[in-house]
């Protein structure tokens, strides 16, 4: 659909600065040709509690990812006809808009169980994604950024301790922010969603589509 609305998108070299299978699936929905170039940005250098809000934290992280890939590829560029467009994204889960309870990806099954029990007990939590899009030239990059927040309600009835342990035993929670995948088995725990469903997966489809249309429209009439 994006290519039909904005044929000029084909003049960009679109890069996803993430190896996430879920983000790749969402990028595929756009119907544009893109490449995957994972970022070497060290996320661990950022401490979530040093930020005022979760939105600030995920946006700063996504900016670091996109900038690293953009500058690296811009330096390697061999032709002036190529216009880079790099998309960086970062997702975190929290039971509030503050950063005291930010949940990334659990590194152990025990941590996944702990996260899921906390989310169950709070019933409602938030999924935040920051997206940073870098495009143009290395000497004068253009940056388009946004954040997206989605509210998710968990079912305390479905999330018994036994159900949580069984879910964690499948291995699904270990590479997902908050310890669950709404598009997978973890969807059995979800009672309601307010906001962009794709944001919970890891990339807000609606806002991303709008951003790319805006970028292409703004670049119309300029030399790509």
* CA 39 – CA 37 distance, rounded (Å): 6
Distance CA 224, CA 213 (A): 15
Using alpha carbons only, what angle is made at residue 127 by residues 125 and 128, rounded to the nearest 5 degrees? 135
- Catalytic annotation, pick one of 10, 90, 140, 175: 90
Distance of CA 156 to the CA centre of its chain: 27
Q: Please indicate whether residue 219 is annotated as part of the active site.
A: no
For 107, counting Cβ atoms within 10 Å of its Cβ (0-12 exposed, 13-18 middle, 19+ buried), the class is exposed
Backbone angles phi, psi at 131, to 5 degrees: -130, 130
Active-site residues: which are they? 90
């Amino acid at each position: 659909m994006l290519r039909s609305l904005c044929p000029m998108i084909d003049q960009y070299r679109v890069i996803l600065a993430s190896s996430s299978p879920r983000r790749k699936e969402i990028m595929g929905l756009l119907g544009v040709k893109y490449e995957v170039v994972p970022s070497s940005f060290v996320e661990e250098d950022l401490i979530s509690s040093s930020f005022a809000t979760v939105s600030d934290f995920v946006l700063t992280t996504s900016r670091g990812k996109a900038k690293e890939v953009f500058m690296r590829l811009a330096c390697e560029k061999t032709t002036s006809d190529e216009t880079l467009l790099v998309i960086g994204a970062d997702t975190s889960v929290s039971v509030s808009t503050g950063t005291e309870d930010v949940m990334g990806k659990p590194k152990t099954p025990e941590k996944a169980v702990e996260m899921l029990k906390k989310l169950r007990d709070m019933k409602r939590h938030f999924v935040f994604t920051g997206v940073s899009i870098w495009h143009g030239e290395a000497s004068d990059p253009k940056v388009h950024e946004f954040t997206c927040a989605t509210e998710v309600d968990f079912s305390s009835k479905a999330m018994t301790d036994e159900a949580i342990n069984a879910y964690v035993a499948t291995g699904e929670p270990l590479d997902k922010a908050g310890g669950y995948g709404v598009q997978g088995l973890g969807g059995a725990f979800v009672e309601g969603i307010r906001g962009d469903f794709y944001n919970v997966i890891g990339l807000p489809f609606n806002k991303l589509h709008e951003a790319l249309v805006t970028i292409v429209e703004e670049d119309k009439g300029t030399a790509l």
